[in-house]
Structure 1
Amino acid sequence: MQTVPTKPIQVQGLRKSYKQHQVLKGVDFEVEKGSIFALLGSNGAGKSTVVKILATLLQPDGGTAAVNGCDVAAEPDRVRQAISLTGQFAAVDELLTGRENLVMIAKLRYLKNPRRVADDMLQRFGLTDAADRKVSAYSGGMRRRLDIALSFVGNPQIIFLDEPTTGLDPEARIEVWSIVKALAEGGTTVLLTTQYLEEAEQLADRIAILHDGRIIANGTLAELKRLFPSAKTEYVEKQPTLEEIFLAIVGKKEAE
């Protein structure tokens, strides 16, 4: 009998409450290998809670979540070996140079030849010219690129990007988008949380909308567009934007 490959991320019935406030009410989704999966939702929808559970930083109250075939609650150490996490704000040491930050992480991960690892990452993320400058002198886009580079040291199979472009200007945001696309093209599985609709539209192979503790829509952009009323024909056919789809789906659920 042929074995069905395990998907990198599998979530079923995930629940989480903070005291009396139920944040996740039964979240279900799967992520394909080498794809970009966008978890889209408003502030407070529970996106970061999902990521923290998948990254073993938070215990769920119910349901199951498996990363790289390992249960996040029962096998956290094995999960951590396969993943990397970039949070909403760049977690870099501003007193060190870009190279020193990367060498430090490579040493913490017990990699051979940390300096070579650092040089490879600097080149890969377009930071070679700024390698020996203190991070305090970096632009916002450069700090975010370095932050993602730090997360990618050791080539994790799965990377979680929690609101990766928060606070960045449009030019820096496009730089980060380019990096994320390159990660997926190289075979890395990316789970991206965002409240920026254009970001999900530009990057994601699949998009799930998290609202009121549940996934209320999940599919490709083309599939989500089919949930929207037919395009109006005036002089040209106007296709709905992801923003229109999101607002229509969320508004519909709130009216029920």
Structure 2
Amino acid sequence: MSSGDHGGADLAIWARELCKGYGDRQAVKDLDLQVERGEIFAVLGPNGAGKTTTTEILEGYRPRDAGEVRVLGQDPGTAGPVWRSRIGIVLQETGDFDELTVDEVLRHFARYYPAPLHPAEVAESVGLADRRTARVSALSGGQRRRLDVGLGILGRPELLFLDEPTTGFDPEVRRQFWDLIAALRNAGTTVWLTTHYLEEAEHLADRVAVIVNGRVVAVDTPACLGGRHLAGATVGWREDDRTQELVTGSPAQVVQELSARFGGDVPDLVVTRPTLEDIYLDMIGAQQ
């Protein structure tokens, strides 16, 4: 992309040579990335990799030291309230609203936006329609997180930032939350998702970026990240009282040959491919 492009109309986020330091430590170093409109873009990386700093710069909450950034076509460092009303933010932790009801919280924050969604509509969309009169203190952890997302989408954002949204969720609630995020994307909202859950990134993301030591080291679909789709499969079976393994690019052919050799079922047959976690751990290990 040329310097005059500043992020095309089809991009929700564009950053080039983004830098941010704290004293002697460079949290973000010459970071480049592009996020297309209407996609869920997941950001992975170990603690201290620069994910939070990058997110805060994109949200307009933290100034950068160098580089160019455009979010929804504008520089978040100088954009005004009209631009801010076009984004939604769901932080890891939110304010204390325990004594207010769900409806009261939504109605209060709706006043900050020029054309908010109706609080009842928001409550319905995040699965809290039957909890509108409940005090926040009476909500479960998953329901509180749904309220957080409700606040994030209240202003009809074109772009929603989600920072570790399902930390502490049990598996059932996490999967319900995934359905909600997918529904937002299907309705046209671009989603920037930072997460430590590899399964979450694989389930939700259209593309995944891995940030290590302040730089983007890889961007691809979950299926293709780090050449995962080209990696060989491991075929395992038991023969002569020993476990045998073979790494191959043609697992179906190997299984067929084994089946013919054994005259049917292959003892303890297992076929595996590298998981997203395998690829991710190899990737960050190579960068440390």
Tell me whether the two structures share a fold, i.e. TM-score over 0.5. yes
Displacement of 1:92 in angstroms is 5.3
Aligned in 2, Cα 1:199/1:48: closer, same or farther, shift over 3 Å?
Answer: same
Counterparts of 1:164-183 in structure 2 under 5 Å? Answer: 164-183=165-184
Tell me, which stretches of 5 or more residues in structure 2 are unaligned?
1-7, 237-268
Pairing 1:33-52 to 2, within 5 Å after superposition: 33-52=37-56
Do the aligned partners of residues 14 and 225 (structure 1) sit closer, same or farther apart at CA in structure 2, a change above 3 Å counting?
A: closer
- Residue 111 of structure 1: CA displacement? 4.1
Check if 1:188 corresponds to 2:156: no
Q: Is the counterpart of residue 107 in structure 1 residue 111 in structure 2?
A: yes
Alpha-carbon offset, residue 213 of structure 1: 1.0
In structure 1, the partner of 2:69 is 65
- Which moves more between the two structures, 44-53 or 164-173? 164-173
Counterpart in 2 of 1:240? 274
SS of equivalent to 2:48: coil
Please tell me whether residue 28 in structure 1 is matched to residue 28 in structure 2.
Answer: no
Q: Output the amino acid matched with 1:47.
A: K
Structure 1 residue 6 displacement after superposition:
3.8
- Please state if 1:249 is matched with 2:249: no
2:204 is equivalent to residue 200 of structure 1: no
Corresponding residue for residue 265 of structure 2:
none
> How many residues get paired?
248
Distance in 2, matches of 1:73 and 1:6, equals 21
Deviation at 1:133, TM superposition (A): 0.9
Check 1:92–1:204 CA distance in 2 against 1; reply closer, same or farther (3 A cut): farther
After TM superposition, give the deviation of residue 168 of structure 1 in Å.
1.9
C-alpha contact (below 8 Å) 2:9/2:73 kept by paired residues: no
Does the 8 Å CA contact 1:92/1:101 hold for their aligned counterparts?
Answer: no
| Deviation at residue 45 of structure 1 after TM alignment | 1.3
* Residues 202 and 222, structure 2, Cα contact 8 Å, conserved in 1: yes
Report the residue type matching 1:35 in the other structure. Answer: E
Which has the greater radius of gyration? Answer: 2
Letter of the structure 1 residue corresponding to residue 77 of structure 2 = A
Deviation at 1:106, TM superposition (A): 0.9
Does structure 2 retain, via aligned residues, the 8 Å contact 1:6–1:68?
Answer: no
Separation in structure 2 between the aligned mates of residue 167 and residue 12 of structure 1, nearest angstrom: 34
CA distance in 2, matches of 1:193, 1:47: 7
Distance in 2 separating the partners of 1:66 and 1:34: 16
Runs of 4+ off more than 6 Å: none
CA contact (8 A) 2:103 2:119 kept: yes
Match of 1:56 in 2: 60
SS in 2 for 1:167: coil
Structure 2 counterpart of 1:239, which letter? R
| 8 Å contact kept, 1:159–1:188 | yes
Matched position secondary structure for 1:45: coil
Identity of aligned residues (%): 41
Would the aligned equivalents of 1:84 and 1:158 in 2 still touch at CA under 8 Å?
yes
SS of structure 1 residue aligned to 2:235: coil
Give the equivalent residue in structure 2 for 1:130: 131
The letter for the 1-side match of 2:220 is G
Of the three residues 10, 13, 18, the one matched with 2:14 is 10
Mapped to 2, the partners of 1:73 and 1:193 lie a distance apart of: 21
Task: Give the aligned residue type for 1:237.
Answer: V
Distance 1:6 1:91 in 2: 34
Moved more, 64-73 or 97-106: 64-73
Tell me the distance in 1 between the aligned counterparts of 2:77 and 2:132: 38
- TM-score, scaled relative to structure 1: 0.91
Q: Which has the higher contact order (CA 8 A, sep 6+)?
A: 1
Kept after mapping to 1: 8 A contact 2:226/2:283: no
Q: Which is worse superposed, 146-155 or 103-112?
A: 103-112
